[in-house]
Chains A and B, each alone.
Chain A
Amino acid sequence: MPSFARSFNKTTLALATAAAASLALPSANAAEVEVLHWWTSGGEARAANVLKELMEAEGYGWEDFAVAGGGGETAMTVLKSRAMSGNPPSAAQIKGPEIQEWGELGLLGELDEVAEAEGWDELLPPTVAEVMRHDGSYVAVPVNVHRVNWLWANPEVLEAAGVEMPTTLDELFSAGEAIREAGYIPLAHGGQAWQDATVFETVLLATGGTEFYQQALVELDEEALGGEQMVEALETFKRLRELMDDDMSGRDWNIATSMVIEGTAGMQLMGDWAKGEFTAAGLTAGEDYLCAAAPGTQDAFTFNIDSLAMFRVEGEEREAQQALARLVLEPTFQEAFNLAKGSIPARPDLDMGEFDSCAQQSMQDFQRTAEEDGLVPSMAHGMAVRADVQGAIFDVVTNYFNSRDMAAEEAARRMVNAAQAAL
Chain B
Amino acid sequence: MSLSSYAAQPATGPGSRRSRSGPLQAWLPKLVLAPSVAISLCFVYGFMLWTFILSLTNSRMLPSYDFVGFAQYARLMANDRWWVASTNLVLFGGLFVAICLALGLLLAILLDQRIRQEGALRTLYLYPMALSFIVTGVVWKWLLNPGLGIQAMVRGWGFENFRFDWLVDPDMAVYTLVIAAVWQASGFVMALFLAGLRGVDDSILKAAQLDGASLPRIYWRVVIPCLRPVVFSAVMILSHIAIKSFDLVVALTGGGPGYASDLPATFMYAHAFTRAQIGLGSASAMLMLGGVLAILIPYLYSELRNRRHG
Interface residues of A (CB under 8 A from B): 70, 73, 76-77, 80, 83-84, 98, 101-102, 105, 191-193, 245-250, 386-388, 390-392, 395, 398-404, 414, 417, 421, 423
Contact = CB atoms under 8 A, between A and B. Distances in A.
Interface in B82-116: none
Given A391-B270, A423-B75, A250 B60 contact: no
Interface stretch (B40-48, B211-219, B275-283, B288-296): B275-283
Contacts of B168: 191, 246-250
B14 to A, nearest CB: 42
A192 B277 CA distance: 21
A247 B274 contact: no
A391 B81 CA distance: 11
Q: Main SS of the interface on chain A?
A: helix
B273 A398 contact: no
A423 B279 contact: yes
B257 interface: yes
A410 B254 CA distance: 25
A287 to B, nearest CB: 29
Contacts of B60: 101, 388
A402 B254 CA distance: 14
B145 interface: yes
Interface string B98-142: 000000000000000000000000000000000000000000010
Given A246-B168, A250-B253, A395-B81, A101 B75 contact: no
Interface residues of B, number: 40
A191 B256 contact: yes
B259 A105 contact: no
> Which 9 residue pairs are nearest across A and B when measured between Cβ atoms?
A402-B258, A391-B275, A249-B168, A247-B147, A402-B257, A399-B258, A77-B273, A249-B257, A387-B276
14 contacts: A70-B274, A77-B274, A80-B61, A83-B62, A84-B62, A105-B61, A250-B167, A386-B276, A388-B275, A391-B275, A392-B275, A398-B257, A402-B260, A421-B75
A249 B259 CA distance: 11
A390 B165 CA distance: 30
A265 B78 CA distance: 40
Interface string B167-184: 110100100000000000
B71 interface: yes
B284 interface: no
Nearest to B167: A249
Given A402-B260, A423-B71, A388 B276 contact: yes
Nearest to B276: A387
Contacts of B273: 73, 76-77, 80
B145 A398 contact: no
Nearest to A78: B273
A192 B274 contact: no
B271 interface: yes
Contacts of B275: 387-388, 390-392
A391 B258 contact: no
A386 B271 CA distance: 12
A250 B75 contact: no
B58 interface: yes
B61 A402 contact: no
A249 B256 contact: yes
B80 interface: yes
Contacts of A248: 168
Interface in B255-273: 255-260, 269-271, 273
Given A76-B273, A247-B147, A387-B275, A401 B256 contact: no
Interface in B221-273: 250, 253-260, 269-271, 273
Interface centre among B60, B71, B75, B257, by most chain A C-beta atoms within 10 angstroms, is: B257
Contacts of B173: 249
B59 to A, nearest CB: 10
B146 A247 contact: yes
Given A387-B276, A423-B68, A423-B71, A398 B61 contact: no
Contacts of B141: 250
Contacts of A421: 75
